[in-house]
Chain A
Amino acid sequence: MSKVLIYGEVKSGKLKKSAFELASEGRRIADALGGEVGAVLIGPDTEKYAAELAKYGVDKVFLVDGPVLETYNSEYFAQAMAGVIKEKNSEIVLFSHSMQGKDLAPRTAAKLGTAVIADCVSFRLDGTTLVGRRPMYAGKCFSEWSATGTPQIASARPNVLETAEVAKAGAVEKITVEIDSSRATYSTKELNLDTSGKVDLTEAEIIVSGGRGMGGNDYTLLEEMAGTLGSRATVGASRAAVDAGWRSHSDQVGQTGKTVTPNLYIACGISGSIQHLAGMGSSKVIVAINKDTEAPIFTKADYGIVGDLFKILPEFNKELKALLSE
């Protein structure tokens, strides 16, 4: 029996980092409860990922494949997931609160008559009950949630849980789930993925964000900085910049945009409105560059730089390049 089951999300032919975060957390939970960690991989040709999952503490890898599982579809994947949970009698199921997780977890849960403790930033056990701590009001407060029955289904915010290498068997088992393809669902017509390998805001380790102070849609200075900082860095924006049409909606950080928790958030020309702070206030380290010494962002910044961003950013980029090329 697998007490803990995790969903392994694959993107562009690679397991996502969140899969290792979930595996590691699953391992910690299973060890405390005395049980095994299983991981579910759905779709064609996924066996190759089993070994990597084993490194992060997964005992068993369950593979589900079938004609309608070639590309992601909420209905079919949820049927597959619910099928494995039932067959393995899983008590605790963990998803990532990624774009796909947000779509898949609740539909899976609903098939099993329950809801998801969504977007958790940490977990603990209260006896055999999983307790997830999660932000509410975009991080203006936190609370602890638990399920009243089994399975207990939760999703974790990407990039927050620690990964830990613990080698386990990762034995592969193919599972046949009867997928009812007569259930009404959508069909995918086009999938337009950004192939630049740019990391999504919610999963970025470093975010360089620009606000109204950027004065226009030229974000070259920020793109350059993110480029220097590597593939886990990306560019974000305030709503003012998005509303001005300088950046796309998907770049917005804040209460009505994305809630982000990078290791480093660099706010450039952003005043620090309550809605913006709600979305990025849990970043590990915050740097603010603003010419107004009274800007509220400085009350939250670990390193506040008062000055003109157009003068400071080029110097910043020079320093970063020098440091990171060492």
Chain B
Amino acid sequence: MIKACKDANEALARFKDLFVKPVFSGFILKGDFTVKSLVCLKQVPDTETQIKVMPDGSGIVTDGIKYVINPYDEFSVEEALRIKEKMKAGDVTILGLGPDRVVEAIRTALAMGADKGIHVSDDALLQADPYCVAEVLAAVAKQTEFDIIFCGHRAIDDDLGETGAILAELLQIPQVTLVTKIEVAADKKSVTCERDVEGGKEVVESPLPCVVTSQKGLNEPRYASLPGIMKAKKKPVDKKSLGDLGVTIEAKLKCANFTMPPERKAGQKFEGMEPADVAKTVVGLLRTEAKVI
């Protein structure tokens, strides 16, 4: 495999790809014991968006949609920054896949304090399923130094909630999902995480590198400061195509027939009644009419 490399880093990444498998540059290059985080960030429609389906059912109408960072990915950015601040050393890289508008979301994360961005843009990604997305994220990860990869536990738009776990499997590293607390060990070789399980919490310890998926409760993300926004303009955002990464993707899932949910209409409204009367009436209706109690 002889191919021109754009820079020394890329050459090194290729070299390692060829000779050491599976390889994580995190293991090999890390002599300084700083924590390097790679945050996978998806740009999603603002939660205020009224979703409309296209007449042919092929997707949603995207005109006029305002995009924001997936809220769970915001938790990830914040947590990566806190780890860096706490350890007093580290590096936070933001990785986003998608059209050019995604750069805006990456810049916002840089304005919060992240160090650099990687934007993978390719038409093939528009309808990529989570497996394909994870393949691309993995390809980038293999060329990047990292100890922790952060994903959101779900993206609030397509909401499959599986990219993080697939990514971890593709990289053959542990996944710690639905995380609400992270503590990096002093030797920086492991993390202790608290994660949501049904009806409680689990505390796990994972060796690094690993994939962590963020859950609500992890932290309160900061806002970008004005100086932060100014600085972000000068931070590097690397643009890559699938060709640059040497990945070709093949769809595992496909989707079609978008429809609106059945319209919910207001039912009966009870106003100006005595509390005791209205309670009796509604409880009665729940039993006899709605049959839910």
Q: Which of B248-293 contact A (CB under 8 A)?
A: 250-261, 264, 266-273, 275-276, 278-280, 282-287, 290, 292-293
Q: How long is the Cα–Cα vector from A14 to B215 in the complex, in angstroms?
A: 27
- Interface contacts (Cβ under 8 Å), in number, total 280
Q: Looking across the interface, which residue of chain A has its beta carbon closest to that of B200?
A: A193
Q: A256-B71, A303-B268, A316-B283 are in contact. Are A193 and B252 (CB under 8 A)?
A: no
B247 to chain A, nearest CB (A): 14
Q: How long is the Cα–Cα vector from A147 to B158 in the complex, in angstroms?
A: 16
Contact A185 B279 (CB under 8 A): no
Chain A residues in 8 Å Cβ range of B271: 293, 306-307
Q: Chain A residues in contact with chain B, CB under 8 A? A: 11, 74-75, 78, 97-100, 102-103, 105-107, 109-111, 113-119, 135-149, 183-194, 198, 200, 203, 206, 229, 248-250, 252, 255-257, 263-264, 274-275, 278, 281-282, 284-287, 293, 298-308, 311-312, 314-316, 318-320, 323-324
Contact A188 B203 (CB under 8 A): yes
Contact B205 A189 (CB under 8 A): yes
Contact A312 B278 (CB under 8 A): yes
B23 to chain A, nearest CB (A): 14
Name the contact of B210 in the complex, choosing from A142, A186, A285, A287 (C-beta under 8 A): A186
Q: A119-B160, A192-B201 are in contact. Are A140 and B177 (CB under 8 A)?
A: no
Chain B residues in 8 Å Cβ range of A203: 198
Contact B283 A306 (CB under 8 A): no
Main secondary structure of the interface of A (DSSP, over half): mixed
- 25 residue pairs from A and B, CB less than 8 Å apart: A102-B161, A102-B178, A106-B130, A106-B163, A106-B166, A116-B162, A119-B160, A136-B51, A136-B158, A137-B60, A140-B50, A143-B259, A144-B257, A148-B251, A185-B174, A192-B201, A200-B198, A203-B198, A256-B72, A275-B48, A298-B269, A300-B264, A300-B266, A306-B270, A308-B275
Contact A285 B205 (CB under 8 A): no
Main secondary structure of the interface of B (DSSP, over half): mixed
Contact A148 B192 (CB under 8 A): no
A245 to chain B, nearest CB (A): 12
Q: Looking across the interface, which residue of chain A has its beta carbon closest to that of B191?
A: A186
B101 to chain A, nearest CB (A): 18
Contact A301 B216 (CB under 8 A): no
A209 to chain B, nearest CB (A): 15
- Which residue, B129, B158, B278, has most C-beta atoms of chain A within 10 A? B278
Q: A307-B278, A323-B293 are in contact. Are A185 and B206 (CB under 8 A)?
A: yes
Contact B293 A264 (CB under 8 A): yes
Asked if B76 is at the interface (CB within 8 A of a chain A CB), the reply is no
B85 to chain A, nearest CB (A): 23
